[in-house]
Amino acid sequence: KRPDGGREEEEVEEEEGTAALDAGEANFDKGAWAPEAEKYGIIGLLSARQAMMPISKAEEMAHLKMLVCPKQPGEDAEPEPARRHPDRKGGGKGKVQERKKQEVQGAGRVEPNMGITEILPGSQRNDWWKNCEANAMAVIVREHFSLTSAELWRVPSGHYVQQAGPNEVFINGQATGLQRMPVLPRGWVTVDAISVGGPQYLEKVRRPAWSVIFQSGTARGDIVVRDSLPLDSPEVAVLFKGARVEQAGPQHVLEDGIVRMPISFRVGVGRHPTNAVAEPLKRTGWVTCDATSQGGPMFFEPCADAGAEDAPPERAPPQAGAPTPVGAQPSTQSRPAGPGGPRGAERGERAERGEANEAGSTWDKNRFWKVVNLGEGESNKLALVSRAEPFAPGSGRVPSADLLIRWLQEGEVVEQMGHSKKMRGYMVMPVRPVGEAGGPEDAPYWVTRRVVDKTKDGVDVEWFVETRNGEEVRRVDRRGQQRQR
């Protein structure tokens, strides 16, 4: 109290503030949340705002454009003016320039409502990171650095991403300690959010290792390795269940949702796509990692120990009289001969495309087809080729000399040797021509059977009709027979 008996102003203000609280007025408690009393703390309000993001413009502001002007690198901390010594010229000018240079090199960016970042030392392009989130949550890849930018894709638990540039960490603001990183082929991810109450999302690994988990049930192979991204590119190797490979670059999602992945593998893993005793044509290529978007299976899973050395899958020697185990490389005696042998890699191809598996994993049917609808003219020839490639009559595509076996003639009969494939809008079929005496020629070869994508030619064109006992069996008749059965 003052000497005159009055009270200090601070004491009066404190009593007035207490009375206001008793009357139910705001006390600025940041953790308050009582909607019935209309009390909302800053933490709850910020959480509600985050759930509303992105917030669109009000109609009254729709005609206005927002321009965010963050500070340029080096503007966050301006150097003090140099004090010139009375007996010296220059006054420490070189030291000021050196300090400016250091500030620019370590500067990051200014992110509205989050803070200022700086480059995190020790991170570099092409490093690999694994999703290690404890609750198996997918990591969101966003288009830009901002946490409110558009979502591009998600990294599943245990999967890998490749770093595209240096990490950035917030050094002040409400996001202090949060780390963001650019990834390939594009986008940004959060590496570590522990400092703001979130989890650690990614951890650095030495090598992104994967293991084959798909099993075709045959000895020809479980996974087809192709030369490039397209599903119809040339085969360079086949892999077996249990084989370990290393991811060689970012995954690529096709238009139909199938996930393709570039890989490399060591000596002793995989073999030639058509020769069971030969080495692969290449030890790098592309495989399908995930075909679940088209009803197919998962072909690979990330290895628990991403730093372990690759090892070929164990292959137990086949016992006498027992079937060849999956993943084994059968000898000539144990491998089924003739056109009815296993075609496991083709089964994997169908799974990649989401196609149904017809009649099991082996071809045990007797089906013969006759060439029809060729018409006249040099361009209406039907090619018999050594690889699964569509060369439709009248399409303008002509096989090269190393692919062409010969041209088929109208009325010629071939025997189907396996399941057909859909490629580039056509159905291609593995066959062997039937000679004049009824004996097979050296095979298998491939022919274009019919149009699948009607937009290519405008009509449903077929160049083969099935024959039974010398009589033609049209598709409609055959379906009717199946319904009668």
Task: Print the SS3 string covering 293-333.
Answer: HHCCCECEEECCCCCCCCCCCCCCCCCCCCCCCCCCCCCCC
Q: Which residue has the tokens 């995954």?
A: 251
Q: Is the peptide bond before 444 cis (omega within 30 degrees of 0)?
A: yes
**Tokens 């361009």 — which residue?**
379
> CA–CA separation, 247 vs 102, rounded Å?
37
Q: Which helix or strand (DSSP H or E) is residue 31 part of?
A: none
Q: Give the H/E segment covering residue 158.
A: none
* pLDDT for residue 130: 93
**Contact, 286 vs 260, CB < 8 A?**
yes
131/423 Cα distance (integer angstroms) = 35
| Closest C-alpha to 462, from 420, 403, 405 | 420
| Regions of the chain where pLDDT drops below 70 | 1-26, 66-107, 305-364, 377-379, 435-443, 454-460, 474-485
Q: What angle do CA 315, 316, 317 make, to 5 degrees?
A: 115
- Whether the upstream peptide bond of residue 390 has omega within 30° of 0, thus cis, is no
In the numeric block, which tokens belong to residue 289?
A: 């990692």
Identify residue 146 by its one-letter amino acid code: S
DSSP 177: T
Predicted confidence at residue 443, as pLDDT, reads 55
Task: Give SS3 for 49.
Answer: helix
Write the CB contacts of 289 (distance below 8 Å, at least 6 apart in sequence): 210, 251, 259, 260, 261, 298, 299, 300
Question: In the prediction, which pLDDT does 328 show?
Answer: 38
The answer to whether 91 touches 83, Cβ cutoff 8 Å, is yes
Q: Give CA–CA dist 369/444, Å, rounded.
A: 15
- Rounded to whole angstroms, the Cα distance separating 171 from 277 reads 59
Please tell me the distance from the alpha carbon of residue 428 to that of residue 321, in angstroms, as a whole number: 36
Report the distance separating Cα 119 and Cα 179, nearest Å: 10
Widest distance between CA atoms in the chain? 133
Q: Are 174 and 120 in contact (CB under 8 A)?
A: no
* Per-residue model confidence (pLDDT) at position 276: 81
Strands (E) in 143-208, as ranges, are 151-155, 160-163, 168-170, 179-184, 188-192, 202-205
User: 418, 444 in Cβ contact below 8 A?
Assistant: yes
User: Is-contact 269 300, C-beta < 8 A?
Assistant: no
Contacts of 121 (CB under 8 A, 6+ apart): none
**Helix (H/G/I), strand (E/B), else coil: 477:** helix
How many degrees, rounded to 5, is the angle at CA 31 between CA 30 and CA 37? 95
Secondary structure (DSSP) of 397-443: ----TTTEEEEE-TT-EEEE-S--EEETTEEEEEEEEB-TTS-B-S-
The answer, as to whether pTM is greater than 0.85, is: no
Query: Cβ distance 290 to 259 under 8 Å?
Result: yes
pLDDT tens, residue by residue, 121-159: 877 888 999 999 888 889 999 999 998 899 998 999 899
In 3D space, the residue among 76, 68, 70, 147 whose CA is nearest the CA of residue 106 turns out to be 76
* Cα-trace Rg, the chain: 34
Residue 383 forms beta bridges with which residues? Answer: 407
Q: What's the chain's average pLDDT?
A: 74
